[in-house]
Amino acid sequence: MDLFSVKDKAVLITGASRGIGRALAQGFSDAGAIVYGTGSRPESVSWTEGTPIKGVAADLRSETDMKDLINQIGKDHGRLDCLINNGATTLDIPASAIKEADLENVVATNFKGVFRACQAYYKMQRKKGGNIINIASIAGLHGAFLMSVYAGTKGALIQMGNSLAVEWASSGFRVNAICPGFTETDMTASIRKNEDYSEKLKESIPMRRIAKPEEMLGAAIFLASDASSYVTGSTIVVDGGLARH
């Protein structure tokens, strides 16, 4: 038996339009999983056309989009083996300049949307057990410059997952988190464009480089597979050593 196999597992990955989410969707599909990937708009998941990945438009800010999708997957496959909450948004402006609408958008996407997805998954599959992986961030552990609200939601996401891990363990659910470090995604594009700051950032990382999105796949495969059957309420940090430096 291959402990790390995800072949034929039904996996739902939010925020699969780009960056880490897209890399996870491609990686799980290549590993033989049945993959659903969401984006906030139909065009954001158009890249899945012609692939085995099922791209679906679902807005995390909606009170019903994720619930409807999760229930549909349950009807189509009889189960959802793993929910990966990756979808998120950020602000890279000073805290003093953040407006109420900006604040609500980040909280609605990064926290409320994830909670609703977890809740819908649990209600759909409480008798069968389940597996939730929340993609958080090292900013949620240590904070970061110009990331007050983003870091706050990611810290809250970690603690929400820890609480769900305890509350839902008796129902056969596992809930874990992955905390990526600085990664080559659209979210970090503005930081990486500043060459001086980017070089200083790399110097602060013991491995002296920024991560590639696909480097989050190994941790996700581990948590989604039977290799982690006794792991819940844990956080795996994938940051090149930055958090320990």
Nearest to 13 by CA among 80, 107, 90: 80
Q: Is 150 a catalytic residue?
A: yes
C-alpha to C-alpha distances, 164 to 6, 81, 122, 138, 158, nearest whole angstrom: 23, 17, 10, 20, 10
Q: Which strands, in side-by-side order, build the sheet including 54-57? A: 54-57, 34-39, 10-13, 82-85, 130-135, 173-180, 235-238
Say which residues have a Cβ less than 8 Å from residue 223's Cβ, sequence separation at least 6. 131, 133, 174, 176, 178, 231, 236
Helices 148-168 and 113-125: crossing angle in degrees, nearest 10, is 20
Angle between helices 65-77 and 113-125 in degrees, nearest 10: 30
Query: How far is Cα 230 from Cα 223, in angstroms, rounded to an integer?
Result: 10
CB 221 within 8 A of CB 231: no
DSSP 8-state secondary structure symbol assigned to residue 183: B
* Cα separation values, 231 from 79, 146, 221, Å: 21, 33, 13
Number of other residues whose CB lies within 10 A of the CB of residue 205? 18
Q: Which of 36, 121, 122, 150 is catalytic?
A: 150
Q: Which residues are tagged catalytic?
A: 150
